[in-house]
C-alpha cells in the first residue's frame, strides 16, 4: 500500500482510530483498574469515596426515593443538608444512571472515570488541530498536524496533575468539556453564523454542571480571549481603516462578532440557571456561610512554588527516587492536612513537555501569543498571593491577592487549582513544538509519545477496594423509613467511605462528609454535648480525648429512649477495620450495655447491631433548653455556649435570622414558649408550617407566650419543624423552655 493510500485510509478512519488509541492509553495508565473493574475504584483514601457516594445518591434519590437530589435530610438527619459533592459532579453522576442500572455503582464509576480521560484527550486533539491549522497558528502538512494534535490530547489528559486529581477530586478530573467549549469559542469568533456561538454557550454550561471551579477558570480564559480578539479590532477601528478586520481576519460587518459574544453569554446563562437555582436555594437555607472567603495565609500555604512545574512530584514513578528534593516544593510541606502526595501537588509538567512547549512558544511566539499569555496568567495565579522560590517566601506580592477579592473567584481557596489550566495551555504550546520536530524528523513521533507518558505515569495507579458487606443488602430489604448509625463517623475519611454504602441501603444517616459542611451542621454533629450521637461517640471513636465517666453513661441511659425515637435509629454498623481493637471492644460494650443493642451480623470487617425500640412512646411535651440532653432538638440558628442566664433562669440564645426546633407532637394544639428579651422592642415570628404562624411582641425579661395552632390530618411532616424568625441583635432573644399541650 502506498503512503498516500495509507494517509487517505487513515483520514476516513481518523476519529475512531484516535478514540481507540486514547482508550487503550487510558486503560494502560490506570492499570490495574481494568482487571479490578467490578470491585475497585481509582483513587486514594479520602475525598474520592464521597464522589462515589454522590454518583450512587444521584440514582437513589432520583429513581428510588424520589427526593431532592441536592438538598436532603437523608444526610445530617434530621437537619438535612446540601449534597455539595453532587454539585461538583452532577453531570457525570446523572449521566451514569444507565450504567448503574445495567452494571452497578462501581463499574459505572470506573466507566465514567475512563470516559473522562478519553473524551478530554479527544477534545484536545480536535482543539489542537484547530489551533495548528488556522490562520493564527502554525500551518504544516496534515499528517504532522494530526500527530502533533494527538500529542496535545495526550499531554493534557494524562498529565501528572490531572491524573493526581483522578485520585481524589474527580470534580477536577472531569475536564472532558473544557476543550470542546474552547474549540467552539474560537470558531465562534472566526466564522460567520450562530451555530458555533450556540455550541460554545452549551459546552460552557456543561462545565457548570461538572464543577464551578472549572467554570470559573473558563470565565477567566474567555475574558482573556475577549480582550485578545477585540482590543486589536477596536484599535483598527479607531484608525479608520477602510475595511475593519479583527485579529483573526474575519470578513463580516463589525457588529456581528459582538452579537455572537452575546449569544454565547445568553445560552450559557440560560442553561446554567437550574444549577444556580439549586445553589441559591441552599444559600437561603444555610446562609452560604460555608462557601466563605479564606484568609490569604490559607491560600499562601496552598500555592505553588516557582519551581513546582519543573521539579518532579513525589508520585512520579520515573523520578521519585532520583529527583532532587526541595522542602516546600516537591517534598513534604508544613501545611495541616497536606503531604507530598496531595493531588494538588502533582504539578510537574515533565521535561519533555517543557522542552516542547518552549520550542513551540519561541518558534511561533507571535502566532501563539494568546496561548503563551494564557499559560503565564494561570501559572502566576497558581503561585498564590506571594511568590515562593525554592521553598522560601520572597514576600513579593502577586495578582492572586487581587483576584481573591472578586466574587466567585474568591471561593477558589487553593491557588494550586489554577495549575490545571497551566497544563492546558502548555499542551497546546507543546503541540506546536511537536510539529516542528516532526517536520524535521517524522520518526520522532513514537519516542515523543513514549517520553510524555513515561514522565507522567504513576505505576501502579492507586486503586481502592469497594465491596458491599451483605449487611447493607439486608438493611435495604427492611421496610420502613429509619436511620442507621455508622461507626466511626467523626473521622472524615471513614465518614466519606461509609456514606457510600447509602447508595445500597437507602436509609437516612446522621453525620456525613460533603466537602464544606455548613457551620450549623458542623456544630450540631461536632461541638454540641448531645449524649450518645455526639459526645459519647466522639469519645469512643477517639475523635475527642477523654473517657466516658459513670455520670455521662448514666445520662446516656436516661436519654436513650428519647434519642432512639428522635433520630429514628434502628441499626448501628461498626467498621472494625477502621478502628483499633481496644476501641472496638469499648464500642461493643457501650452498644450492648448502654444502648441495649443486639448483634445480628458480623463479617471480617463489619459488625451489625440492632438497636432496641424505645421502651415506651416518648411524648415530648416540656423541654428545658438549658439541658444538654435536649440539644438534639435544636437545629440551625442556636448559640450553644454561653447560656442565657438571667433572674436565676437559663436558656439558649437565638443566633442569626432563623432558628429551628424539631419535635414530634402531632396531636398538640397549643405551644407555650418561655422567652427572654433584652428589653429592646423585639419581635419573634413563630412558624409551624403552612397552617400555623404567630407574631410575638416580646416584653422585657422572661415571659410565657401561648400559641394556638391546628394540626390537620395529624401530619407529623408538617409539624416536625418549628422555626423562630427574628431580626434582633445577637444575644437579644433566648428561649428557656418549649411546651406542647
Residue 518: the pLDDT is 80
The three-class DSSP label of residue 448 is: helix
CA angle 24, 30, 33 (to 5 degrees): 105
Residue 242 has pLDDT above 70, yes or no: no
739: β partners:
622, 672
Q: Is the pLDDT of residue 597 over 70?
A: yes
Report the range out of 42-51, 150-159, 616-625, 634-643 with the highest average pLDDT: 150-159
Indicate if the pLDDT at residue 362 is higher than 50. Answer: yes
Angle between helices 178-190 and 256-286 (to 10 degrees): 150
- Could you give the percent of the chain with pLDDT greater than 90? 50
- All structural domains of the chain: 3-30+104-456 (no CATH), 470-610 (no CATH), 622-740 (2.60.120.260)
The stretch 589-617 carries a mean pLDDT of 89
The beta-carbon contacts of 556-559 under 8 Å, at least 24 apart in sequence, are 556/531, 556/532, 556/594, 556/595, 557/594, 558/629, 559/531, 559/532, 559/629
Residue 711 has pLDDT above 60, yes or no: no
- Confidence grade of residue 288 (pLDDT, cut at 50, 70, 90): low
Identify the pLDDT of residue 246: 47
- What are the grid coordinates assigned to 508, written together? 437516612
By percentage, how much of the chain surpasses pLDDT 70?
Answer: 88
**pLDDT for residue 183 is more than 90:** yes
pLDDT tens digits, one per residue of 244-284: 444 444 444 455 677 889 999 999 999 999 988 888 888 77
Q: What is the pLDDT of residues 228-240, one digit of tens each?
A: 887 766 666 556 5
DSSP E strand boundaries for 60-116: 71-72, 81-82
Determine the length of the chain.
741
C-beta separation of 625 from 738 below 8 A: yes
pLDDT higher than threshold 70 for residue 62:
yes
Strands 81-82 and 71-72, bridge-based pairing: antiparallel
Instruction: Tell me if 72 sits within 8 A of 502, measured CB to CB.
Output: no
**3-state secondary structure string across 158-214:** CCHHHHHHCCCCHHHHCCCCHHHHHHHHHHHHHCCCCHHHHHHHHHHHHHHCCCHHH
600's enclosing H/E stretch is strand 598-602
Label residue 443 by pLDDT band (50, 70, 90).
confident
Residue pair 20/13 in contact by the 8 Å Cβ criterion: no
Residue 357 has, within 13 A of its CA and on its CB side, a CA count of 25
Mean pLDDT in residue range 611-638? 81
CA 89 to chain centre: 7
User: According to DSSP H, which parts of 648-699 are helical?
Assistant: none
- Residue 554 predicted with pLDDT over 50: yes
Distances (CA, A) of 311 to 165, 381, 390: 18, 19, 10
Local structure of residue 318 (DSSP, 8 states): T
The rounded distance, in Å, linking the Cα atoms of 509 and 532 is: 15
Per-residue pLDDT, 148: 93
Strands 682-687 and 721-726: what pairing? antiparallel
C-alpha cell at 556: 446516656
Q: Which residue has the higher pLDDT, 522 or 634?
A: 634
Say if residue 381's pLDDT is above 50: yes
Question: CA angle at residue 108 from 105 to 110, to 5 degrees?
Answer: 110
Average pLDDT, the chain: 86
Q: What is the pLDDT of residue 383?
A: 94
Set of cell numbers at residue 324? 532532587
Predicted local distance difference test score (pLDDT) of residue 180 = 98
C-alpha 151, offset from chain centre: 30
Q: What share of the chain is helix, strand, coil (3-state, %, to 5)?
A: 50, 15, 35
Nearest residue to 609 (alpha-carbon basis) of 422, 471, 403 = 471
What is the spatial distance between Cα 607 and Cα 471, in angstroms, rounded to a whole number? 9
Question: Of 25, 107, 24, 37, which Cα lies nearest the Cα of 463?
Answer: 37
CA distance 561 to 567: 10
The reported pLDDT for the residue numbered 116 is: 97
Looking at residue 293, the DSSP 8-state letter turns out to be P
| Residue 392 confidence (pLDDT) | 87
- Report yes or no: 733 and 675 within 8 Å, Cβ to Cβ: yes
Question: Is it the case that residue 633 has pLDDT exceeding 50?
Answer: yes
Those residues with Cβ within 8 angstroms of residue 257's Cβ, 6 or more apart along the chain or in another chain: 189, 229, 230, 233, 246, 250
User: Count of H helices and E strands in the chain?
Assistant: 28, 21
Instruction: Report the pLDDT value the prediction gives residue 641, as an integer from 0 to 100.
Output: 87
Alpha-carbon 446 to chain mean position: 37
With the C-alpha atoms ordered 138, 142, 148, 154, is the resulting torsion angle positive or negative?
Answer: positive
Q: Under DSSP, is residue 479 helix (H, G, I), strand (E, B) or coil?
A: coil
**Cα(388)–Cα(592) distance, integer angstroms:** 55
Neighbour count for residue 580 (Cβ, 10 Å)? 9
Count of Cβ atoms closer than 10 Å to residue 68 Cβ = 16
Q: Check residue 621 and give its pLDDT.
A: 73
Residue 442 has pLDDT above 70, yes or no: yes
What pLDDT shows up at residue 249?
A: 47
At residue 453, the pLDDT reads: 93
Radius of gyration of the chain (CA): 29
The residue-averaged pLDDT of 98-104 equals 95
Say how far apart CA 537 and CA 515 lie, in whole Å.
Answer: 21
Predicted local confidence at residue 451, as pLDDT: 94
Amino acid at each position: 500500500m502506498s503512503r498516500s493510500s495509507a494517509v487517505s485510509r487513515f483520514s476516513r478512519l481518523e476519529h475512531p482510530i484516535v478514540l481507540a488509541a486514547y482508550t487503550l492509553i487510558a486503560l494502560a495508565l490506570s492499570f490495574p483498574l481494568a482487571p479490578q473493574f467490578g470491585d475497585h475504584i481509582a483513587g486514594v483514601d479520602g475525598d474520592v469515596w464521597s464522589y462515589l457516594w454522590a454518583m450512587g445518591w444521584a440514582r437513589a434519590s432520583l429513581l428510588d426515593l424520589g427526593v431532592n437530589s441536592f438538598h436532603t435530610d437523608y444526610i445530617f438527619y434530621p437537619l438535612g443538608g446540601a449534597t455539595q459533592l453532587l454539585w461538583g459532579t452532577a453531570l457525570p453522576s446523572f449521566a451514569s444512571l444507565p450504567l448503574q442500572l445495567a452494571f452497578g455503582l462501581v463499574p459505572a464509576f470506573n466507566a465514567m472515570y475512563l470516559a473522562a480521560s478519553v473524551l478530554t484527550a479527544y477534545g484536545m486533539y480536535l482543539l489542537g488541530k484547530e489551533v495548528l491549522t488556522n490562520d493564527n497558528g502554525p500551518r504544516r502538512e496534515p499528517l504532522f498536524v494530526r500527530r502533533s494534535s494527538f500529542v496535545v490530547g495526550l499531554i493534557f489528559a494524562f498529565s501528572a496533575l490531572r491524573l493526581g486529581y483522578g485520585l481524589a477530586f474527580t470534580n477536577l478530573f472531569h475536564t472532558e468539556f473544557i476543550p470542546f467549549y474552547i474549540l467552539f469559542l474560537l470558531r465562534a469568533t472566526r466564522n460567520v453564523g450562530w451555530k458555533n456561538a450556540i455550541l460554545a454557550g452549551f459546552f460552557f454550561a456543561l462545565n457548570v454542571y461538572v464543577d464551578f471551579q472549572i467554570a470559573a477558570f473558563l470565565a477567566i480564559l474567555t475574558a482573556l480571549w475577549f480582550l485578545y480578539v477585540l482590543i486589536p479590532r477596536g484599535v483598527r477601528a479607531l484608525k479608520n481603516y477602510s475595511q475593519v478586520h479583527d485579529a483573526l481576519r474575519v470578513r463580516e460587518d463589525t457588529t456581528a462578532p459582538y452579537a455572537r459574544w452575546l449569544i454565547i453569554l445568553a445560552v450559557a446563562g440560560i442553561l446554567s440557571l437550574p444549577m444556580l437555582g439549586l445553589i441559591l436555594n441552599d444559600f437561603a437555607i444555610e446562609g452560604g456561610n460555608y462557601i466563605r472567603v479564606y484568609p490569604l495565609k490559607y491560600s499562601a500555604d496552598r500555592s505553588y512554588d516557582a519551581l513546582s512545574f519543573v521539579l518532579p512530584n513525589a508520585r512520579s514513578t520515573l523520578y521519585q527516587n532520583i529527583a532532587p528534593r526541595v522542602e516546600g516544593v516537591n517534598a513534604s510541606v508544613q501545611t495541616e492536612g497536606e503531604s507530598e502526595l496531595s493531588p494538588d501537588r502533582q504539578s510537574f509538567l515533565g521535561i519533555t513537555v517543557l522542552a516542547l512547549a518552549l520550542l513551540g512558544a519561541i518558534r511561533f511566539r507571535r502566532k501563539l501569543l494568546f496561548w503563551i499569555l494564557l499559560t503565564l496568567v494561570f501559572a502566576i495565579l497558581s503561585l498564590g498571593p506571594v511568590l515562593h522560590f525554592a521553598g522560601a517566601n520572597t514576600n513579593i506580592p502577586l495578582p492572586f491577592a487581587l483576584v481573591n477579592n472578586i466574587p466567585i473567584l474568591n471561593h477558589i481557596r487553593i491557588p494550586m487549582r489554577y495549575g490545571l489550566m497551566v497544563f492546558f495551555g502548555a499542551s497546546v504550546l507543546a503541540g506546536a513544538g511537536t510539529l516542528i520536530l516532526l517536520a524535521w524528523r517524522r520518526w520522532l513521533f513514537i519516542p515523543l509519545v513514549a517520553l510524555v507518558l513515561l514522565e507522567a505515569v504513576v505505576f501502579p495507579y492507586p486503586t481502592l477496594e469497594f465491596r458491599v458487606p451483605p449487611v447493607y443488602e439486608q438493611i435495604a430489604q427492611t421496610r420502613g423509613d429509619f436511620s442507621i448509625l455508622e461507626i466511626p463517623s467523626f473521622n472524615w475519611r471513614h465518614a466519606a467511605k461509609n456514606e457510600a454504602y447509602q447508595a445500597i441501603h437507602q436509609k437516612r444517616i446522621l453525620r456525613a462528609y460533603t466537602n464544606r459542611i455548613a457551620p450549623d451542621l458542623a456544630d450540631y454533629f461536632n461541638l454540641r454535648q448531645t449524649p450518645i450521637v455526639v459526645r459519647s461517640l466522639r469519645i469512643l471513636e477517639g475523635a475527642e480525648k477523654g473517657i466516658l465517666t459513670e455520670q455521662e453513661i448514666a445520662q446516656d441511659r436516661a436519654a436513650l429512649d428519647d434519642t432512639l425515637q428522635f433520630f429514628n435509629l434502628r441499626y448501628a454498623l461498626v467498621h472494625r477495620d477502621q478502628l483499633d481493637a481496644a476501641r472496638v471492644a469499648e464500642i461493643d460494650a457501650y452498644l450492648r450495655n448502654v444502648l441495649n443493642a443486639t448483634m445480628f451480623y458480623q463479617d471480617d470487617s463489619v459488625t451489625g447491631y440492632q438497636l432496641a425500640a424505645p421502651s415506651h412512646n416518648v411524648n415530648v411535651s416540656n423541654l428545658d433548653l438549658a439541658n444538654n440532653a435536649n440539644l438534639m432538638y435544636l437545629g440551625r440558628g442556636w448559640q450553644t455556649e454561653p447560656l442565657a442566664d438571667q433572674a436565676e433562669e437559663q436558656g439558649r440564645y437565638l443566633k442569626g435570622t432563623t432558628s429551628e426546633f424539631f419535635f414530634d407532637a402531632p396531636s398538640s394544639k397549643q405551644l407555650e414558649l418561655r422567652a427572654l428579651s433584652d428589653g429592646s422592642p423585639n419581635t419573634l415570628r413563630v412558624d409551624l408550617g403552612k397552617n400555623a404562624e404567630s407574631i410575638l411582641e416580646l416584653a422585657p425579661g422572661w415571659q410565657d407566650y401561648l400559641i394556638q395552632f391546628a394540626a390537620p390530618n395529624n401530619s407529623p411532616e408538617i409539624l416536625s419543624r418549628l422555626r423562630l424568625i427574628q431580626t434582633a441583635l445577637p444575644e437579644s432573644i433566648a428561649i428557656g423552655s418549649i411546651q406542647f399541650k
